[in-house]
Amino acid sequence: EAGVTQFPSHSVIEKGQTVTLRCDPISGHDNLYWYRRVMGKEIKFLLHFVKESKQDESGMPNNRFLAERTGGTYSTLKVQPAELEDSGVYFCASSQATVRTSGRNNEQFFGPGTRLTVL
């Protein structure tokens, strides 16, 4: 079974430019999450999709960030316009469920991340 994949692995852009990150979750996982880790800090939650719907976007830093999950499969995270403080590693994760029940659990599996550098 393929794991969570993310593209690109690295992106270097200038302040003011636009970048779009992509995440493909594990097949069959309805739940998709975006997280970010900035240098020296902990991994922090950005938002959560259930299929194509945004369940929780409380972690999105501001309206320069736009996440979509059309069709409930892969997701994109667009940053427009990028600022210096947006630099970090953006992780995507997926899970079968949000609570542990018989036959399904809420473990999240992470992708390799996209390292974004804004100059």
Partner 1 sequence: QKEVEQNSGPLSVPEGAIASLNCTYSDRGSQSFFWYRQYSGKSPELIMSIYSNGDKEDGRFTAQLNKASQYVSLLIRDSQPSDSATYLCAVTGPNTGNQFYFGTGTSLTVIP
Which residues contact partner 1 (rule: CB under 8 A)? Answer: 4, 31, 33, 35, 40-45, 48, 55-56, 58-59, 91, 93, 95, 97-100, 105-113
* Min separation Cβ 81 and partner 1, Å: 27
Alpha carbon 116 to its chain centroid, in Å, reads 12
Residue in 62, 65, 111, 64 with CA at minimum distance from that of residue 89: 111
* Min separation Cβ 110 and partner 1, Å: 5
**Phi–psi pair at 86, nearest 5 degrees:** -80, -10
State the CB neighbour count (10 A cutoff) for residue 24: 18
Q: Which is nearer to partner 1, 49 or 118 (CB)?
A: 49
Q: Which is nearer to partner 1, 75 or 108 (CB)?
A: 108
> CA angle, 21 as apex, 98 and 91 as ends, to 5°?
45
* Min separation Cβ 20 and partner 1, Å: 20
